[in-house]
Amino acid sequence: MEEKQLIVTLISALSFVILLILVVVFSSMGKKSQTTKTTTSGGNASSDKKKKSSIEQMLEIAANRNSSKNDLTNAIIKVAKELTFPPKIKGKMPKDAKLYLNFVLLITSHKNSDAKLIAFMDYELKKVNKAYSTEIDIYENEGLRQRINRV
């Protein structure tokens, strides 16, 4: 009698372990499909990392004093089209937004930028990032001030 009870207990324990393994396997498969969906929508951490690295690349182009006007224009277009500013949280600017605003400052103060390029940047960035229009103006004015002091 005890042997039958032991066998039933072992079979139920083994069934429970197999059931747990199946749940883990199916839940991990579900997570992979969810991350694939969020990757295409651009809502997970890896796309945020790519976005951050891309804005850093654009900052390098803007900071390089040997960048041509075409390089600067292409960087502005990429930032305006692909790299929108991070959304404000309760009306406050997140820390990541500082990178984007520094981009505005660097483009405005760059030796190869002119009034047309600055106006183009102003228009394109404000069109996409309406919540940051005052901050864009502030950083743009600071860049112009630095440009005047440099000359």
CB 113, CB 72: distance < 8 Å? yes
Would you state the pLDDT for residue 26?
A: 79
Based on the fold, state whether residues 70 and 116 are members of the same structural domain. yes
Would you state the pLDDT for residue 52?
A: 58
129-140 per-position pLDDT tens digit: 899 999 999 999
Q: Length of the chain, please? A: 151
Would you state the pLDDT for residue 44?
A: 52
Using DSSP's 3-state secondary structure scheme, residue 89 falls into strand
Based on the fold, state whether residues 31 and 105 are members of the same structural domain. no
Total structural domains within the chain: 2
The CA-CA-CA angle for residues 120, 124, 128, to 5°, reads 170
Based on the fold, state whether residues 63 and 95 are members of the same structural domain. yes
* Domain ranges, residue 94: 42-150
Distance CA 151, CA 149 (A): 6
Tokens 């500013």, located at residue: 85
Distance CA 105, CA 102 (A): 5
Name the pTM for this structure: 0.64
Based on the fold, state whether residues 34 and 96 are members of the same structural domain. no
Q: Is the torsion defined by CA of 105, 69, 115, 75 positive or negative?
A: negative
Dihedrals phi, psi of 113, to nearest 5 degrees:
-90, 150
Based on the fold, state whether residues 51 and 17 are members of the same structural domain. no
Ranges of residues in the chain whose predicted pLDDT is under 70? 30-53, 150-151
